[in-house]
Structure formats: structure tokens, C-alpha cells
Amino acid sequence: MTTLSMAQALNAALRDALREDDRVLVFGEDVGPLGGVFRVTDGLTKEFGEQRCFDTPLAEAGIVGLAVGLAMGGFRPVIEMQFDAFAYPAFEQIASHVAKLRNRTRGRLSLPMVIRIPYAGGIGGVEHHCDSSEAYYAHTPGLKVVTPATADDAYWLLRDAIADPDPVVFMEPKRLYWSKGETSAGDRRAAGFGRAAVLREGRDATLVAYGPTVPVALEAAEAAARDGRDLEVVDLRTIVPFDDATVVASVRKTGRCVVIQEAQGFAGVGAEIAARVQERCFHSLAAPVLRVTGFDIPYPPPILEHSHLPDADRVLDAVDRLQFDDEPDLLHLAGEAS
Amino acid sequence: MSVDVLLPSPVPVRFVAEDGTAVQPPTGYQVPAEERLLEGFRRMVVGRRFDRQATALTKQGRLAVYPSSRGQEACQIAGVLALREDDWLFPTYRDSVALVSRGLDPVEVLTLLRGGWHCGYDPVATRVAPQCTPLATQTIHAVGMADALRRKGEDGVVMAFIGDGGTSEGDFHEALNYAAVLGAPVVFFVQNNKYAISVPLAKQSAAPALAYKGIGYGIRSEQVDGNDLVAVLSVLDAAVEHARTGGGPFLVEAHTYRMDPHTNADDATRYRDRQEVERWEAADPLARLETYLRERGVLTADAVDAAHEAAEKFAAQVRQDLNADPEADPFELFEHVFAEATPQLREQRALLASELED
């Protein structure tokens, strides 16, 4: 085991994939000699040459479209969209081609490619640099959507994504790039792709989180434990495919559930999870499934982002509303009255 | 590279005038071999008959929709004749005639328009990408495929078809730029048929010709009379050769005309008058080539009859094949979303199965 930051773990995954498979190509904006604005591709051009890791012209639809053609031609492109909101020009390519080519051609053409997207906020980024755009991709059939929360998962989920026969949108929580953790890179293969991880076991309620809100959930569980509440934390790891089994098993055990996402709440991934949980766990639930999310606002300027981002306190407030003491949910009643 | 090398001819390259007489072409282009021109004629006859048949089948309800390329046969056929079997073609929805001419099964080509599935043929076996509906998005895929061929050490070329309207899309410009920067062996072939559904070229672009769009990207470009098969084939031969021998991408604009409405669902009388269409009748690519070849003694009356006979036979087969309802398996809907269906898709498949049992 070695200790790496998430950015270093991702770099190691790209390096190992480039080394093991000649078909793997890495490209995007500033991913060459600079090593990417977050240094995830650091040193790859030097080690593997300009043919394997290269800078493209500054045009995101072009990057994705080029990857489609290369994947049709037998390569395995791993491309970088520099920031979440910078990927929007490529949305047509992603939604109309990347997601659909296998289906359109009855499986005769597949697109084994990975679209890496640094996403979400918490790093003081100015506008257009902090969007949580995972719901757009998760809502698009044909795309797998992955988001790691630990360095070890970052390494293995990216290796699995590159090896996957289908296109994967690989969403990297920016604020976790510098978080360090032990990784088993090169030692063993973890079975993380498509499986949620129970990061902390508990009996009283389940916190379901993914990507940037996983550390928030863990912090909240830690604090709750000091107050005698035993919370379970589930890290989805892959939003698509969604691991109903792990989430359902946890909520049936605890009987209560809070879903946490950094993205704005309306029509988000958290809403889907809440619906799935209540559909499958209704008779086990002692309280409504609650969501803790960002507000339904454009991502705020840096000085105000702390007011927007779900933190442990907001999670604990939600946990308090899970009707542990048969008190009515005053916040919800107030909402209904107005 | 000097700017002059990149610039297209100031007037469209032409070998044959509208009345079928030979004109002096600009230097640098060769008259294609007679056998290829004869082959081109035969294929144009079949292509036009196929197109007419597809339109008729649409009126009979056998196809959901059909975008005709009548009037564009010189482009459709020359594009195919200029390519080798191991070259790739990235077509649009209006290029069914080209695909049939490349030897694809007409039923498989029309699967999209028949509504049986999205792409009915095997893109890998045929080296033809799925017919593309979102305009210009396929041009950047063509660049990626061209780069893939080059990386694998193959000397294949990729040709991307696009229309005049499509050149306004951002993806077209990104594709030109990427192709030039990568030096990718790709030929962009613009069939300027003067209309994007109802919007005329004048509202689409203020460029002197669409071919001039190549120069800003450092791409060698040419414009050609798109209703002169001899000229289109000659220019595309040169473009393909340029790409195949390491010269990088090439942009060709062919001036042609969409004789029919956008699709059967369109009413062209709302945006263009009969006189305009009649003027283009006089420039018909098939009649022009026939006159040219016959006056040179290359094409006999018997050969013309044989071509039409072959076309009738071909159309009869298409008619017969499409007069049966397509078979579709609803469970196939779940098969090609991912390589392996997710648990959720398996659940939804089971739900559909129970609905179908009721």
C-alpha cells in the first residue's frame, strides 16, 4: 500500500493503463507537457510520447468527436474536459453519439472511451468552474457515470472505466484531488465498478453519498456517533450502473435514510435515489427519505459557496428530522402550510 | 504552405458543359478513365431509379420518411467511385444512393428510414459509419477514424459527406481544424444542394463559396460543378490521392441542386419557385453525362437500355423486399444499451415481458 492524493492515484491509473495497452490514448486541453491544470496527466507525455498523450485544439465537441472516431477505429481514448461547465459544448456529441452508438448499430460498434470531468466546487473557483453536472449524464441512457471519493477508488475505478467496453463519464470531485489515502495500485483489483461501498457501518440511519459529499457524510456520522447516534455511510462510487442492492440492504437494516449530494436538488440524482429507496424499502422506513443538497441556484461566487454546499451540520439537521422521537417534522409542516 | 496552394479555383471546376459538350478543364485535373465514367453512368441510372422507388415507397407508407437526393447523383456516385473498399465513408441521412452504390444491401440502408432500427447495416464490415442526422457531428468522427487509420499504419482515406447547411454548424469547423492540425487523411465533401430544408444558401453563408472555408484552417480546397460527374470524380480522385499520400485533409465543395423537397413531408413550393427548379432540370447530371459519353462514342444505345433495365430490376427487388413489414423484437431494445444489461434494464425487460403477456 502507498499513500497518494486522488490526483496522484488517477495519474498512476492512466500511467498503468498506457503501459499495459497500446490502444489507450490520453488527450484534451493542456494535458500534454503541462500535465493538466490539476496535474492528473503529469509526466505522461514525457514517458509515453506525443502520440499517446497529447494536447488538442481548444474545442470540446472536437475532443469528444475525435475520441468517437478513434474508438470506432479500435483505440481506447481517455479524454479530459478541463472543467465541468467546459464540457457543455460537447454535450451533443456525448448525448447523441457517445451514448447511442452501440444502440444505433445493434452492438456492431462499441465505444470503449472515458470522458474525465473534474466537477463540483468547494475550491473557490470562479463561475463556470464548479458545476455538478452528473445528473445530465446519469439521465442519458448508454453512459456509465462514475465518481470516486477515495484515492484507492480513484485508481481502480479509472482502471475499470478504461477497460470497460462502454463509454464512461468519469467525474472527479475537484476538492478531493489533494485528499490523501492509501491505495493498492498495482497490488490487487478491487471490485468497485457498479458496486456501492459501505464506508461505515451503523444501525440508526443510512447516509447515501457520492463523490464530493462522501467526506461530508463521514464527518456527520463521526459527529453523530459522539451524540450516540450510529449512522451507516454508503458511497455509491458508480451512479450508473446504480447499486440498488447495497443501498436497499442498508436502508432496510437502518429504517432511515438521508441522501446527500452537492448538486442543486431539483430533479437531481438524489431525487432518483430517494424515489428508489422509498419504492423498495417502504415497509422498513420509519421516516420519509430526506435529501440534503445544494440549493436550486446557479453555482455561487467563491465568497458565498460555503452557504450553498451541504456540510455536516446540514446533514445532521436532516438526521434530526428522521423522527427518532415521534415528533412531527416541523420543517416539512411549515412548508405545507405556506 | 503558400496560401495560393490552398485556394479553390475561382469558378467551379468543370469538364462537361450543361449541354454535354466537353469544355477545357483547369490544369492539374485528369479526365477519369472511360471505364470508370461508364461505371459512373450505370450507377447513376440505378441510383436515380432507387431514389424514385424510395420516394414512392414512402408515399405508400412503407418508409417513415425519405430525404431524396435526386439531382445529386453525380456527387453520390463520384464520392463512392473515388474510394477504395478499405476506405471509410461517413454519410448523412441524404446519402442512401451512395450507400447502395457502395454495395450495401438496400434493405439494410433503408432500415433507418423504414423505422425498423436506427442503423441497419454493419459499419465495420462495410466501412460506412451510420447515416448521421445531427448535422456535421459526423465530420469530427471522420477525423478521428482517419487518425486511427494513420496510427495503425494503414493507407486508408476517410470521406465525410456534408451538406451546405451543415457547414454552418460548429462541429464542421472543429473538424476542419482538428483534421488540419493532425494532418489526418480525410476528405470533406460538401454537397451544396442550395437548401437546408427551406433556408437558401444566401441566408446560410456570405462566403464567396463554401470551399473558401478551408483556407482559414490551412486546408487545401476546391469547388466543382456538382452536376458534372467527370469533374466531381476527377476532383475527388485528386483529393483522395492528396489525403492518401500524406498531404493531409482536403475540402471539396460540389455545386448541385436538390430537385425534390427536403423529404416527402416537406412542401418546397413554399420557399422556391417552379422556374428555379426548371433551370436546374437543364443542368441534369445524368442527361449531361449520357450526352457526353454518347457523343464520344463510348456509350451505346444498347448500353443505355441495359443500364435502365438493370435499374428496373434493382428497383423491383427493393420494392419486393420492402413490401413486407419489418420484423422487430421489442426485447432487442434492452440488448444494445450497454455490452451487458444493468440490473435496472433487466428489471424493465421483465416488466415489458409481463405487459406483452397480458
Contact B171 A93 (CB under 8 A): yes
Let me know whether B252 and B356 are in one domain.
no
Asked whether residue A106 carries a pLDDT value surpassing 60, the answer given is: yes
Asked whether residue B203 carries a pLDDT value surpassing 70, the answer given is: yes
Give the residue from chain B lying closest to A57, CA to CA: B178
Give the residue from chain B lying closest to A91, CA to CA: B137
Let me know whether B38 and B87 are in one domain.
yes
Let me know whether B334 and B254 are in one domain.
no
What would the pLDDT profile of B328-350 be if each residue is shown by its tens digit? 999 999 999 999 999 999 999 99
Q: Which three cell numbers stand for residue B247?
A: 498531404
Contact A62 B124 (CB under 8 A): no
| pLDDT value, residue A190 | 61
Contact A109 B123 (CB under 8 A): yes
Which residues of B carry out catalysis? 258, 262, 271
Reduced to 3 states, what is the DSSP secondary structure of residue A159?
Answer: helix
Q: Which three cell numbers stand for residue B205?
A: 453563408
Q: What is the mean pLDDT of residues B20-40?
A: 94
Q: Which three cell numbers stand for residue B271?
A: 420557399
With beta carbons under 8 A apart, name residues in chain B contacting A57. Answer: 174, 177-178, 181
- The DSSP code for A277 is H
The Cα diameter of chain A in Å comes to 64
Residue A176's alpha-carbon distances to A232, A258, B212, B223, B224, in angstroms, are: 21, 22, 48, 53, 56
| pLDDT value, residue A302 | 97
What is the domain extent for residue B266?
3-327
Nearest to A155 by CA among A8, A7, A1, A10: A10
Strands A180-183 and A2-5: antiparallel
Structurally, chain B folds into a number of domains equal to 2
Domains belonging to chain A, first-starting first, are 2-183 (3.40.50.970), 197-325 (3.40.50.920)
Nearest-10 Cα torsion for B33, B142, A20, A26:
140
Give the residue from chain A lying closest to B108, CA to CA: A105
Q: Name the percent of chain B lying above pLDDT 90.
A: 96
With beta carbons under 8 A apart, name residues in chain A contacting B145. Answer: 69-70, 72-73
Q: What is the mean pLDDT of residues A10-24?
A: 98
- The DSSP code for A23 is T
Let me know whether B223 and B246 are in one domain.
yes
Residues A52 and B179: their CA atoms lie apart, in Å, by 17
Contact B118 A70 (CB under 8 A): no
* Sequence-separated (6 or more) residues with CB below 8 Å from residue A310: A213, A216, A260, A261, A262, A292, A293, A294
Let me know whether B239 and B340 are in one domain.
no
Q: pLDDT band for position A329 (50/70/90)?
A: low
Buried-state track B273-298, b at ≥16 Cβ within 10 A, e below 16: eeeebeebeebbbbebbbbbbbeeee
Residues B186 and B336: their CA atoms lie apart, in Å, by 30
Contact B124 A240 (CB under 8 A): no
| pLDDT value, residue B126 | 98
Q: What is the mean pLDDT of residues B146-159?
A: 98
Q: Which three cell numbers stand for residue B214?
A: 478551408
Neighbours of A202 (CB within 10 A): 19
Q: Is B160 on the interface with A (CB under 8 A)?
A: no
The one-letter code for the residue type at B137 is: T
Let me know whether B179 and B248 are in one domain.
yes
- Give the orientation angle of helix A244-254 with respect to helix B343-357, to 10 degrees: 90
Reduced to 3 states, what is the DSSP secondary structure of residue A117?
Answer: strand
Asked whether the ipTM of the predicted complex exceeds the cut of 0.95, the reply is yes
Q: What is the mean pLDDT of residues A170-182?
A: 96
Let me know whether B215 and B338 are in one domain.
no
Nearest to B148 among A70, A102, A109 (CB): A70
Contact A141 B142 (CB under 8 A): no
Nearest to A69 among B141, B152, B332 (CB): B141
Let me know whether B319 and B336 are in one domain.
no
Contact B178 A56 (CB under 8 A): yes
Contact B343 A59 (CB under 8 A): no
B109: domain CATH number is: 3.40.50.970
Written in H, E and C, the secondary structure of chain B is CCHHHHCCCCCCECCECCCCCECCCCCCCCCCCHHHHHHHHHHHHHHHHHHHHHHHHHHCCCCCCCCCCCCCHHHHHHHHHCCCCCCEEECECCCHHHHHHCCCCHHHHCHHHHCCCCCCCCHHHHCECCCECCCCHHHHHHHHHHHHHHHCCCCCCEEEEEECHHHHCHHHHHHHHHHHHHCCCEEEEEEECCEECCEEHHHHCCCCCHHHHHHHHCCEEEEEECCCHHHHHHHHHHHHHHHHCCCCCEEEEEECCCCCCCCCCCCHHHCCCHHHHHHHHCCCHHHHHHHHHHHCCCCCHHHHHHHHHHHHHHHHHHHHHHCCCCCCCHHHHHCCCCCCCCHHHHHHHHHHHHHHHC
Asked whether residue B29 carries a pLDDT value surpassing 60, the answer given is: yes
| pLDDT value, residue B65 | 95
Residues B18 and B12: their CA atoms lie apart, in Å, by 13
Residue whose cell numbers read 412503407:
B62
Q: Is B335 on the interface with A (CB under 8 A)?
A: yes
Nearest to A266 by CA among A235, A297, A240: A297
Let me know whether B267 and B304 are in one domain.
yes
Q: Is B130 on the interface with A (CB under 8 A)?
A: yes
Nearest to A73 among B145, B178, B181 (CB): B145
Contact B124 A166 (CB under 8 A): no
Nearest to A108 among B122, B134, B139 (CB): B122
Question: Which residues, listed in sequence order, are joined to residue B289 by a DSSP beta bridge?
Answer: none
What would the pLDDT profile of A258-289 be if each residue is shown by its tens digit? 999 999 999 999 999 999 999 999 999 999 99
Q: What is the mean pLDDT of residues B61-82?
A: 97
- Give the orientation angle of helix B285-295 with respect to helix B229-244, to 10 degrees: 90
Let me know whether B214 and B349 are in one domain.
no
Question: Which residues, listed in sequence order, are joined to residue B161 by a DSSP beta bridge?
Answer: B189
With beta carbons under 8 A apart, name residues in chain A contacting B134. Answer: 92, 96-97
With beta carbons under 8 A apart, name residues in chain A contacting B104. Answer: none
Q: Name the percent of chain B lying above pLDDT 70.
A: 100
Let me know whether B204 and B87 are in one domain.
yes
Reduced to 3 states, what is the DSSP secondary structure of residue A200?
Answer: strand
Nearest to B156 by CA among B211, B230, B82: B82
Please tell me the distance in Å from A192's CA to the nearest CA on chain B.
15
Q: Is B272 left (phi over 0), alpha (psi -120 to 50) or beta?
A: beta
Residues A282 and A26: their CA atoms lie apart, in Å, by 46
Let me know whether B19 and B76 are in one domain.
yes
Q: Is B135 on the interface with A (CB under 8 A)?
A: no
